[in-house]
Amino acid sequence: MIHENVLQESAVSDQKTKKVGSAVVLGGGVGGMQAALDLAEAGIKVYLVDKESAIGGVMSQLDKTFPTNDCSMCIVSPRLVDVGRHLNIETICNADLQKVEGRAGDFKVTFKQKTRYIDLEKCTGCGLCSEKCPITKKSEFDMGMAQRKAIFRRYPQAVPSGFTIDKEGLSPCRFGCPLGVNAHGYVALIADGRFEEALEVEKRRNPFPSICGRICPTPCEAECRRGDLDQPVAIRQLKRFLGDWERKNGRKPLEPTEDKKSEKVAVIGAGPAGLTLARELKLKGYNVTIFEANPKAGGVLISGIPPYRLPRDVIEWEIQEIFDLGVELKANAHVGKDISFDQIKNDYDAVFVATGTPRERSMKLEGEDTIKGLYDCIQFLREVNLENCKSIGKKVIVVGGGNAAIDAARTAQRLDTENVTIVYCRSRREMPAKPTEVRATIEEGIEIKFLTNPVRLIADENNNLTGVECVRMGLGEPDESGRRRPVPIEGSEFIIEADVLIPAISQEPDLMFFGDKLQPKTTRVKTLVVDPVTLETTVPGVFAGGDVVSSPATVIEAINAGLRAAESIDRYLKKEDMHAGREEAKWIRAERDIDGEPIIPRHKIPEISVEERAGNFNEVELGWDEETAIAEAKRCLDCAACCECLMCLAACEAMAIDHNMEREDIITLEAGAIIVAPGYELFNADNTKELGYDRFPNVITSLELERLLSASGPTMGEIQRPSDGEHPKSIAFIQCVGSRTVENNYCSSVCCMYATKEAVIAKEHQPDLECSIFYIDLRAYGKGFDEYYERAKEHGVRYVRCRPSAILQDQQTKDVIIRYVDDQGKQQEGRFSMAVLSCGLSPLDGVHEFAQRLGIELNDLGFCKTSRIAPVDTTREGIYTCGPFNEPKDIPETVMQASAAAARAMSLLDEVKWTRTAKKEYPPERDVTGEDPHIGVFVCHCGKNIGGVIDCKAVAEYAKGLNGVVYATDKLYTCSQDSIASITETVKEQNLNRVIVAACTPRTHEPLFRDSIREAGLNPYLFEFANIRDQNTWVHQSEPQKAFEKAKDLVRMSVGKARLLEPLYDGDLKINKNALVIGGGMSGMTAALELASQRFPVYLIEREKELGGNMRRLHYLIDGDDPQKKLKETVEKVQSHDKIKVYLDCQIESLSGSLGNFETTLKPHNGSEGETIKHGVVVVTTGAQELKPDEYFYGRDERVLTQLELEEKLASGDFSATSVVMIQCVGSRNEERPYCSRVCCTNAIKNALQIKEKSPDTNVYILYRDVRTYGLRESWYRHARDKGVIFLRYDQDKKPEVTKGGDGFEIVVHDPILHIDLKLTADSLVLSAAIIANDDAKDIAQLLKVPVNNDRFFLEAHMKLRPVDFATDGVFLAGLAHSPKAVDESIIQALGAAGRASTYLSKDSVTLPAAISEVIDENCDGCAYCIDPCPYNAITLIEFIHKGDIKKTVESDPSACKGCGVCQATCPKQGIKVNHFRLDQLGAMVEALLLEE
C-alpha cells in the first residue's frame, strides 16, 4: 500500500505541470457554441458534446427573440454552420457524461455515446431513408405536436446534418418469437399499407406466413406491451393477412442467393423443419432431396392439424414455393424400409433428420394395447386428415389438455359422433391449449371435465370399450413445471360411458429407421441428442431438428431448427467452423412506457358460426380485409422505435446506414479545461395539477406555443387550438409556472419577456387575437425590455396583476376558465380559447448525479454553485460554467458568460494554445494566367431534393454545350466524401481551370467546394456556385419543367461569370498583441487582468485618480461576498501585474486604425504630453453613474439618500433611523428614461436587510412598482419579507407624495389593492435612483466610431448573440457602459470581452477574405459618394498633392470591409470594385441570362 501511494504521488507531481491544449464543452446550445467558437479561435481544440443528436439547444426551437423580434432560427443557424465547419471543433452528439478524472489543465473526460447507426462521414442528410421509414414518433423538437420518423434529423438545419436512428433495443414481440421473426417490422409496414414489403420482412425468416398465421401459438402476442394496456396486437392474424394477400396478389419467385453447387443434401421428413432447411439450402445452390413416408409433403401440418384450422390448399400453396425452387421430393419413401439410412448417408454429403414425433406415449392403463376402441391421437388425426376416415364411434373421450387433445376432440365432433368429452387432470388455468381454442371447443358443444383422470378402462365381453372409470383430482403443491400437481381424491371415482378413447397426452419420436450402424445418441425421452448450436447429432454430417429433437413443440420452433441446421450444413459443406460467431446475441428488450396511451380495442377475428361448423371441416377463422389489417397494425405501440424492417437500408444510396453498430461507445477525451453549459429543463407543467396541463387540450406550455408560432413548426406558424384546430380568439398567459413558488424559490428571469413577445407575435399572426398576461411582477429588467413591454401594452396586450390559483375547463367548448381578481378588486371569471403556461427554467433532470460526475457542487436550488465575484468558476478548478445551468438567464447573459468561461479556460491553458489544433496544408497553386477557360460543371442530385424534381443528367448534358465548358457530369451527392475526392481528381485529369457546382446553397457548402479545388492546386476563387436547390427545386417543386429551365439558366449564368473569374488571394492582417482597456472600474480591471494572464500587454486607462469606479462605493453584495475585499485584491493585482500598464487621471485624445492595428493618443488631465500607444484591440468599460435625483427633497435635506449613499453610511456605521421609506424607480421607467435600472430592487432589499440586521425594530418600507429580483435574487426578496420588510406597490401615475412634517417625512402612497391612501412616516428617505450613462459616453463613441442608444448606453453588435462585440471588429464592450447591471454581471461581461478580444490576440494574423472592395485609382476622383453608405466605416477620403494640384481619392480598409458591394453600386465612375463580384462578372451573368447560347 505504502509503495503504491508513493508511486501515485510522484505521478501526480509530474502531472501538475502537464497541460493539454484542448477543452470539452458540455452542451451545444447558444452558450456551448459561443464558448466552443471562442476557444477554437483562440487556439484551443474543442470537443463540443451534446446529449441530443444535434446541437442548437432550446434557441433552435424558439420562434422569435425579444426585444428585436429576430427570427431565432435565422440568427442561430449561421452559428450552427460556423461550429459545424470549424476545423478545430469536434462535435460529439448523443453523449452522456460518465466521469471526469485528473486535474485542471489535464482532465480525462469519459462519455457514453449512443450510436446513431449511421456513418456521419457517409450520410449526406438527403432524407430518403426517412421517407421509407414506416415508424412515426412524436417529434421532441416540436414538443410532441408533430411527428418524426424512427430514422430522423432533429430539425432541418441541424448540425451535424446527418440522420440518427431511434432504436431502443428489441421490441418485446421479437423477443418472444423463438424464430426471431421481426413482427414489429411487418406490423409497422402493414400499418403503412406496404404489404409487399411487409411480406418481404416476414419471409426473411419464415417461409410459411399463411400457415403460421393460422396455427402459431403466438408467443409474440404474449409479450406485446399493448397487452398490458388493453389486448395485444393481433400479430398472428396480421401475419395471416399477409399470407392471404400474397395468395390473392401472386408472389414473386424467390431468387437464389448463391451459385449452384454440386453437393447433395438429404432431408428425412417433409415437415416444417425439413421444408425450411430445404428452402434455405436450395437458395444457397445445393441439391436437396426430401424423403417423406407420407404420400404428400407437409408432415404434421397435414397429418396432425385439422383442416378447419389449417385448410389443405393453404398448406399446398405455401409449400409449393419450395418445390418450385427445384427441391426434389421422394414421397411414400419409408426410410428404413424402402431405403436404408446407411444408403442415404452414403449417397448424400449431409443429412438432416426431421422426422417429428409420430408415436403416442402410453397412458399406462391396463388393457391399453388390447381393448378395441382406443385410438392413438396422431393415428386418429392422420386417418381423418389424410385417409378421409369418417366414422370412429359414438361416444368419444379424449384424454389430455394440449392442442393435440383439442384438435382430436374438435375433429371427432365433426364426425358422426354423439358426444365428445375431454378429460383433463388439472384445472382450466393450467391447460396448455390456447384459451381461444378452449373457448371454441366448448362453444362447439364439447364437454371438458377438468380435474379428472382416467384410471381404468372398462370393456365388454368382446373386448370393446364401453366406458372409462375416472377419478376427481385436487391440486397440490406446484411441480417442476410450475403448475400445481394434480392429486387424486380418494373415493371420487365415477364412470363415463364411451366406445372410443383417444389419448392425447404426449408424443415421441420413432427412430427405428437408423439401423444399427449409424445409431445416433438419444435422450431418456427417446429424442435425438444434438449440439445445441449446430444441431449436429453424434454422427458427423447428420443433423437433426424439429420435434424429433425437442419433443412436440410448435411449428415456429421447427422452422427455427430448419434455419439453424441449414446454416450448419452450409458451413459443414464449405468446411467452415460451424460454431464461430453463433452465440446467442445479447439483445436488450425495449421497455416502453405506456402511461397515458389511449385504449384501442383489438379488432375481432371473424369466425363462421357454430352451426356452420357442424359436420364439416371448413375453416373456422376468417381473414381480414386491408382496412381492418391496417387499423389493427396501427395499434402497435412501436416499442423499440426502430423496427429494423431495413427499408432505410435499401433507400440509402450513400450506404451510410449500419443497423449492426454497437449500441453505445465509451469515449474518453483529454481536456485541459471543461466548460459546462448543459442548459436547463423546462419546468414540467404536469407538476402543477391545478393548471390542467395534460388534462385540458387547450392548456399548453410556452415552448409549445413557440413551436406553434414558428413558420417551420407543426402548423407552419398558424396558431391552432389543440382541441379543434380552430384559431383562438383569446389567449391567457399564466406567469411564474414553476417559478417563485415555495419549492422553486427563484425567478426564471426570462418568462415575463418571452410571454410578452409571444403575445405580441401571436397578435401579429392574428391581429384580432386578445392576449392577457396574468403576472405577479412584470420583470422587464434587461436592455430595451421595458420599452418592449410598453410597446406590447400599446399593441393591446392586456396585463392582469393576479396569479390564478387554478385553470378550469368548459367541458363543452373546451375553453379554459380562469378566475381572477381585477384591478378594482372584483372577482372575475375569464374565458379564453387557450391558456399558455409560462413555464420556468428548472435545473436539469438528474442534475445532482451530473454534478457528482463532474465533481462540482450545486447550490440549494440545484443550480451550479458559483459566487457573485467569481461568477463562472465552479467549485472545481479548471471547470467553468455558463448559462441557465448556473442561474436562470436569458440568451445574451448566457452568451456573455460563455465567452467569459472561454476566457477563463484560455488563461488556464495559455501556454498550450495551438498545440492541439489542426491546420490545413495545400499543394502549391497552379498558375492559370493566360489559359483559356476550361470549365468543369458538377450537377448535384442532392438525393431527391434536386434529382426528384429535375433531370440532373440533362442539365449536365446541357452544360457541356456551353462555351468554355470542357467537362460536365452529375453526382448523386456532390458533397459526399467520394464526390469531393473525385472533383479534385477531375480537375487534375481534365486540366480544368474553373469549376462550377450546381447544387444546394453556397451558405453551407461553398467553402467545402472551394477547398476541393484548392486541393487540386487551383485558386479557390476559380470556383462558382449555382444555387439550383434552395432557390430552384425547393421553391418550384410543383413546376418541374420550369424548374428545369431555370436550372439551365442558372448554370448558364454561372458559366458566363466563371469565364471571367480570376485568382484572388486572401489578405493576411498582422495583429498587434497589445490591448487597450478604457475604464478602470471593476469591469476594466477584470478584462485587463484576464488578458494579461494570457500574456497580452494591456494599457488600462482610467479617468479618475484611482482605480475602482463605482465598485468603490459598494460595501455589501446580496449573497454575502465582500466587494471591498475583492476590489482591494483586484487593484493590487492590476497594479503589480507586469503586463498591465495603468494610466490614471487620463483620457483618450484620439483613436485611429482598425482591428489589429489601432493607434491611440492619450490625454493626461495634468496637461502633459499624451503618449501614443499601438494596440490590436479595444475594450470599452467606461461605466455609468447613479442619478442625482431632483425630487423628494434630494439635495435639500440630508436625510434623503440614494441607495449608494445609504450603503456608505451603513458601512461606516453612522446610519440610524426608526422608520425608513425607500422609493423605487426614482428616475427610471419614466418618459425621460424609459428603461429599468435593473439593480435597484436588489440593492434596496440588500440595504433593507442590512438595516434590519443592525436594528431589527426599524421599520423599513419599500415602495415599488414591480419587484424585479430576477434569477436567484428572488430568494432574498422572500427573505426580506420574512424579516419584516414591508413592500408596498404604487402605480406610476400615482407616485408617492412626500411632505416634511414633524421630525421627518410624511409619505402618502396609494395602495392599488386596498384602493386607499396609506400614510407613512419616516425619519429617513432612501431613493433608488436610476443608473445613467456617463456624460461623455457620446464623445467616446464618436472617437471609436461605435453607436450608442437613446439612453447613451453603448450599442452592441447584436442584442442576443453578440452582446460584448461592436459591429466594428476588434472593439469590445463590458460593464455599465453597456447597460445597468449588477457586479457579477459586469464581471462576466468583462471576462467575456477579454475572451472575445483574445480570439484575435491569440493569432499572429487573421485572414482577410479577398472578395472585398478595391479602389481603382485611375477612375476615382474622390467624389466621396461611397463614404456615407458604407455600413462598416471602411472607406476614408484622402487628399494629396499631385503635380502641384490637390487631388482626392478614397481608400478602403481591407480589415473593415465585408465585401457587401454598396460602394460599387454607389460609385458613378467605376472607381471602386468588389473583387469576385466585379461589374463585368455580374454583367456577364445578366448577358448569359438574356441571351441563350
Min separation Cβ 695 and other proteins, Å: 5
Site membership for other proteins, residue 1004 (CB under 8 A): no
Query: What are 1261's strand-pairing partners?
Result: 1221, 1286
Min separation Cβ 502 and other proteins, Å: 37
The smaller minimum CB distance to other proteins, of residues 809 and 1054, is found at 809
The smaller minimum CB distance to other proteins, of residues 530 and 818, is found at 818
Contact range with other proteins by CB under 8 A, out of 447-455, 564-572, 687-695, 1192-1200: 687-695
The smaller minimum CB distance to other proteins, of residues 742 and 1441, is found at 742
Distance between CA atoms of 966 and 974, rounded to whole angstroms? 18
The smaller minimum CB distance to other proteins, of residues 394 and 428, is found at 428
Contact range with other proteins by CB under 8 A, out of 656-664, 689-697, 868-876, 1124-1132: 689-697
In contact, 375 and 415? CB cutoff 8 Å: no
Report which DSSP code applies to 1375. Answer: G
Min separation Cβ 229 and other proteins, Å: 14
The smaller minimum CB distance to other proteins, of residues 688 and 833, is found at 688
Min separation Cβ 811 and other proteins, Å: 4
Grid cell listed for 1281:
419579507
The smaller minimum CB distance to other proteins, of residues 209 and 738, is found at 738
Q: How far, CA to CA in Å, does 733 sit from each of 189, 232, 751, 789, 833?
A: 42, 42, 10, 15, 11
- Which strands, in side-by-side order, build the sheet including 264-268? 328-330, 287-291, 264-268, 350-353, 542-544
The smaller minimum CB distance to other proteins, of residues 686 and 1253, is found at 686
Min separation Cβ 808 and other proteins, Å: 4
The smaller minimum CB distance to other proteins, of residues 697 and 855, is found at 697
The smaller minimum CB distance to other proteins, of residues 817 and 1240, is found at 817
Q: Cell 494629396: give the residue.
A: 1440
Residues 6+ apart with CB under 8 A from 552: 357, 402, 404, 506, 507
Q: How far, CA to CA in Å, does 1422 sit from each of 489, 1434, 1469?
A: 120, 15, 10
Min separation Cβ 1283 and other proteins, Å: 21
Here's the x/- map for other proteins, 150-169, by CB under 8 A: it reads as --------------------
Min separation Cβ 735 and other proteins, Å: 18
The smaller minimum CB distance to other proteins, of residues 684 and 1255, is found at 684
Min separation Cβ 892 and other proteins, Å: 36
366, 591, 627, 690: residue in contact with other proteins (rule CB under 8 A):
690
The smaller minimum CB distance to other proteins, of residues 816 and 882, is found at 816
Report which DSSP code applies to 1146. Answer: E
Distance between CA atoms of 1044 and 955, rounded to whole angstroms? 8
Min separation Cβ 692 and other proteins, Å: 8
Distance between CA atoms of 419 and 899, rounded to whole angstroms? 89
Q: In this structure, is the dihedral angle defined by the CA atoms of residues 1344, 1348, 1354 and 1357, taken in order, positive or negative? A: negative
How many residues of this chain interact with other proteins, rule: CB under 8 A?
Answer: 11
Helix segments in 177-271, DSSP class H: 183-191, 195-203, 209-215, 219-223, 235-249
Min separation Cβ 221 and other proteins, Å: 21
Q: Are strands 452-459 and 419-423 parallel, antiparallel or unpaired?
A: unpaired
Min separation Cβ 863 and other proteins, Å: 25
The smaller minimum CB distance to other proteins, of residues 598 and 767, is found at 598
Min separation Cβ 810 and other proteins, Å: 8
689, 1042, 1095, 1469: residue in contact with other proteins (rule CB under 8 A):
689
Grid cell listed for 932:
483559356
The smaller minimum CB distance to other proteins, of residues 829 and 1257, is found at 829
Contact range with other proteins by CB under 8 A, out of 236-244, 773-781, 804-812, 1441-1449: 804-812
Contact range with other proteins by CB under 8 A, out of 177-185, 683-691, 1159-1167, 1276-1284: 683-691
Contact range with other proteins by CB under 8 A, out of 153-161, 509-517, 628-636, 686-694: 686-694
Distance between CA atoms of 894 and 898, rounded to whole angstroms? 6
Site membership for other proteins, residue 695 (CB under 8 A): yes
Min separation Cβ 690 and other proteins, Å: 4
How far, in whole angstroms, is CA 707 from its chain's centroid? 15
Distance between CA atoms of 795 and 790, rounded to whole angstroms? 9
Cα dihedral 554→556→557→563 (10° resolution): 150
Site membership for other proteins, residue 828 (CB under 8 A): no
Query: What are 1226's strand-pairing partners?
Result: 1329
Q: In this structure, is the dihedral angle defined by the CA atoms of residues 384, 390, 393 and 397, taken in order, positive or negative? A: positive
Min separation Cβ 428 and other proteins, Å: 17
Query: What are 1358's strand-pairing partners?
Result: 1362
Contact range with other proteins by CB under 8 A, out of 91-99, 642-650, 685-693, 1003-1011: 685-693
Q: Which of residues 1183-1222 bind other proteins (CB under 8 A)?
A: none
Distance between CA atoms of 878 and 44, rounded to whole angstroms? 14
Q: Are strands 95-103 and 106-114 parallel, antiparallel or unpaired?
A: antiparallel
Min separation Cβ 587 and other proteins, Å: 28
The smaller minimum CB distance to other proteins, of residues 798 and 831, is found at 831
Grid cell listed for 1341:
463613441
At CA 1140, angle to CA 1166 and CA 1159, rounded to 5? 65
The smaller minimum CB distance to other proteins, of residues 389 and 600, is found at 600
Here's the x/- map for other proteins, 806-825, by CB under 8 A: it reads as x-xxxxx----x--------
Contact range with other proteins by CB under 8 A, out of 23-31, 801-809, 832-840, 1091-1099: 801-809
The smaller minimum CB distance to other proteins, of residues 602 and 795, is found at 602
Distance between CA atoms of 313 and 317, rounded to whole angstroms? 6
Grid cell listed for 672:
485541459
The smaller minimum CB distance to other proteins, of residues 94 and 809, is found at 809
Contact range with other proteins by CB under 8 A, out of 280-288, 600-608, 671-679, 688-696: 688-696
Q: How many CA atoms lie within 13 A of 1371 on its CB side?
A: 26
Largest CA distance in the chain: 151
Q: How far, CA to CA in Å, does 22 sit from each of 36, 669, 839, 1482?
A: 11, 9, 37, 44
Min separation Cβ 745 and other proteins, Å: 15
Residues 6+ apart with CB under 8 A from 997: 937, 938, 940, 974, 983, 1005, 1009, 1023, 1024, 1025, 1026
Min separation Cβ 426 and other proteins, Å: 20
Contact range with other proteins by CB under 8 A, out of 36-44, 379-387, 805-813, 1199-1207: 805-813
Q: How many CA atoms lie within 13 A of 437 on its CB side?
A: 24
Min separation Cβ 173 and other proteins, Å: 25
Determine phi and psi for 243, rounding to 5 degrees: -60, -45
The smaller minimum CB distance to other proteins, of residues 693 and 1353, is found at 693
- Which strands, in side-by-side order, build the sheet including 935-940? 965-971, 935-940, 994-999, 1023-1027
Which parts of this chain interact with other proteins (CB under 8 A)? 688-690, 695, 806, 808-812, 817
